[in-house]
A and B are shown apart, each in its own frame.
Chain A
């Protein structure tokens, strides 16, 4: 079957098998910015994408469900020359080690800051709890999200 949706603000259309997950289709089509820890049950969060602005583990989304909807991967945040304030804050706060969980965590953080520009530490911890990071112990990531929230608020002023 064919499925059509918006990927990072561009219309795309792929030939897919109805049993495939969004994760499998994205990887097969060369969207390597979506990482996967091979849990395949949504428990690690590494393959998180935004589906109509809501973070979801793409390995748990059957491809048919994205027809006509909007999917965002880390590509929608910023590129190497024009980092999003979240990406900048993650680098400046030492919140990246191996980097494997980072695209997923950044998208979760983006959805949170889109919804609430001034989240409490508890809200950030709650929001990140579906994404495992085995390297950092989360502290610098939480600090980075607080810092990014500040940067974004300043930008909006």
Chain B
């Protein structure tokens, strides 16, 4: 494998110094004179009509500058989902509506001189509701006579709103029923995931103002600045040329900020008052009224022959998208498209199901994007099949997983809410992932130990394998601009949206590797819709792979321009290379600084700006692969599950920055362990969330984490920049099935509903 100079190095995060010294880099670290503060009035009912709303008292309150309700805003159906155009999500949302569809839905917004005045004004808005019957269980959504949540005539793009169905799929490859009848072993089960929330440390926040040209500028904590601009233009009826979205540093997103949730309101306030306006969600609003993971019931049936070869896989899903369908179809499709190709030896595959509306919080994009829910079911079913056959689940996986040079018909059949694209897997280190993980974890040795380690204390050992994708093929586009200054330094302008992942650093490394300069010679700017070129934003495991290739292409063009000038200046006819920022003639050893090239280009001869822009769309979405192993301890007296050791072996192609890569892997594992052990919103019988805060919704702390070992299994993906694939999402999929399988190994109980609370363990043990 080719040795790189910058790629593959643990380069210091380019924004790191600013972050460790607490510089004012986030959306809210910024204040404008005369700024108004916004607050949103939320629905106390799960499902209700607004019979009357009277804001006159609120409007009269001193210091209140704007009040918005359904009566004074444009009524246009749209989707909050920040996706490529046309969006695969239904147009079923309004800025404000006459109907509220979950506890926490928008009713009105106030902008005032201070937050406390805005809060007081909310209490002065008089609303008369007519409560409607609510759907609080996704199973009820499909029943005859169920309340219709979206009866508005404007709705577009939902499969059958009259039956609360957002998306429906009925896909079959081969003959699954026949294959199951012919199978020697068949297993079946239903696995259920919960309402989990992203919990970015920085809540959604946006500040709007008018610039000196009268342009609406929105500084927002968003993963999708360009999609936000397009959606706002549509929604507010103002041209894209009159809107500028700036993404400063982002305090985490994990998918929650792949949505346009508050930008419309600050925009309305600024357009109405001509004053800057700020709106930040409270932590409770972040939990209840932003977005969540899709709770899913995933039914899986597997059939295999005596040799342990899978013959059939059936996956049937009921996905709860909550009150609105943002990302509903695509997350559902991904639950199949990112899981089923893993076991491509099964020739008969069925993927069916529905995404339904309920009167509960709105699900959206969440790291893993459906694959997390799919793998929980699939990988637990694989273990059950292995038990039924009496073989090691590791061996069953080895027999059946996809390998380099192979494909799966699922790649073409299931895409983003529609057909996908066919592809052959070029780089796949899954075999090595399983092998290396097995060895470090000491799989066979551990599984031969007695499970009871102390009276009432049991240890168990479980595993799971998984894949994801890298970007959305033939849909999403990324671009990058690189400019050279006369001192030989560079600017990299990307629409790609670093939300804490380190992508600015990764993209700088890719640019510098291609040009032949050290990272200190480049400044990265991301993202500003007026000054950086288009990029779809940060989602779908795209940035390293897709934006990275756009950067590499731009860097190559810049390098060619530099070398053209260098040939003239050196009078050279032979090969030139750029190393550590110096142009060298191969053979003669003559050198030239980039500053000499810059000065000539700016001021002396053949004058021009050395710069290039390049764009990239991928025809494929090469999957990263991983094998996870976990050791857990279960106290059968309390029901508490404690993870002891977690080993993750991951193939993400070439790791551009191994240290940042390790951070992505560990971070996603700990988030996934949260799904497995403690996280979940709880609702009362009226659909009201009971634990929307960090004290009652338990995100894992430093005391709750196991020892985590990461193994990078390097492969070279030919379609990725310098061999790279994606890594940010894949590992969030492992903990749910791996922990459930480990608990089964310890105690012989099957945890099928997340989170695996102490209570659920004790119930399965028959102790309560």
Chain A residues with CB under 8 Å of chain B are 30, 32-35, 37-41, 43-44, 46, 73-75, 77-80, 83, 87, 90-103, 106, 124-126, 128-142
Contact = CB atoms under 8 A, between A and B. Distances in A.
B663 A34 contact: no
Contacts of A87: 20-21
A130 B703 CA distance: 10
B693 A136 contact: no
B502 A97 contact: yes
Contact of B670 (A41, A100, A137): A137
Interface in B1-50: 10, 12-13, 15-26, 28-31
Interface of B: 10, 12-13, 15-26, 28-31, 198-203, 249-252, 254, 280-283, 286, 499-502, 659-660, 662-663, 666-671, 693-695, 699, 701-703, 705, 708
Contact of A99 (B500, B671, B695, B703): B500
Nearest to A141: B702
Nearest to A125: B702
Nearest to B706: A139
Contact of B16 (A44, A91, A136): A91
Contacts of B10: 94
A137 B249 contact: no
Nearest to A103: B22
B250 A98 contact: yes
Contacts of B282: 38, 40
A74 B663 contact: no
Contacts of A95: 663
B199 A134 contact: yes
Contacts of B23: 33, 80
Nearest to A86: B20
Nearest to A133: B201
Contacts of B501: 97
Contacts of A37: 201-203, 251, 283
Contact of A35 (B20, B21, B251): B251
Nearest to B30: A32
B416 to A, nearest CB: 26
B632 to A, nearest CB: 17
A18 B660 CA distance: 44
Contacts of B695: 41, 43
Leading 6 A-B pairs by shortest Cβ distance: A98-B500, A33-B22, A99-B19, A137-B670, A100-B251, A94-B659
Given A98-B500, A99-B19, A100-B26, A139 B693 contact: no
A15 to B, nearest CB: 15
Nearest to B707: A139
A94 B703 contact: no
Contacts of A33: 21-24
A44 B251 CA distance: 13
Given A43-B695, A98-B499, A125-B703, A136 B22 contact: no
Contacts of A126: 702-703
A43 B22 contact: no
A77 B20 CA distance: 10
24 contacts: A32-B26, A32-B28, A38-B280, A43-B695, A44-B283, A74-B20, A78-B21, A91-B16, A94-B10, A94-B13, A97-B252, A98-B201, A98-B500, A99-B19, A100-B202, A101-B201, A103-B22, A126-B702, A129-B701, A132-B199, A135-B663, A137-B663, A137-B668, A140-B666
A79 B701 contact: no
Given A96-B16, A98-B249, A139-B705, A80 B22 contact: no
B702 A138 contact: yes
A91 B17 contact: yes
Contacts of B286: 38
Contacts of B254: 134
Nearest to B250: A98
B670 A99 contact: no
A140 to B, nearest CB: 6
B694 A44 contact: yes
B12 A92 contact: yes
What's the dominant secondary structure at chain A's contact region?
loop
Nearest to A124: B702
Nearest to B664: A97
Which residue, B22, B23, B28, B283, has most C-beta atoms of chain A within 10 A?
A: B22
Contact of B666 (A35, A39, A137): A137
Contact of B667 (A34, A73, A99, A137): A137
Given A129-B702, A134-B671, A135-B252, A97 B500 contact: yes
A132 B252 CA distance: 12
A134 to B, nearest CB: 5
A119 to B, nearest CB: 13
A99 B15 CA distance: 9
B711 to A, nearest CB: 14
A130 B22 CA distance: 19
Contacts of A134: 198-201, 252, 254, 667, 671, 699
Nearest to B285: A38
Nearest to B697: A43
Contacts of B701: 128-130, 132, 138
Contacts of B283: 37-40, 44
Contact of A140 (B198, B250, B281, B663): B663
A142 B203 contact: no
A44 B663 contact: no
Given A132-B199, A134-B201, A93 B18 contact: no
Contacts of A34: 22
A93 B201 contact: no
Contacts of B500: 97-100, 135
B252 A139 contact: no
A98 B13 CA distance: 11
A98 B202 contact: yes
Contact of A129 (B663, B667, B668, B703): B703
Which residue, B19, B20, B199, has most C-beta atoms of chain A within 10 A?
A: B20
Given A91-B16, A99-B249, A128-B701, A38 B663 contact: no
Nearest to A98: B500
A73 B671 contact: no
Contacts of A30: 31
Nearest to B24: A32
Given A80-B17, A98-B200, 9 more contacts: A96-B19, A97-B501, A97-B502, A99-B251, A101-B201, A102-B22, A129-B703, A134-B198, A138-B670
B660 to A, nearest CB: 6
A31 to B, nearest CB: 9
Contacts of B18: 80, 99
Which residue, B16, B500, B502, has most C-beta atoms of chain A within 10 A?
A: B16
B694 A139 contact: no
Nearest to A99: B19
A87 B283 CA distance: 28
B662 A35 contact: no
A44 B694 CA distance: 7
B21 A94 contact: no
Contacts of B202: 35, 37, 98, 100
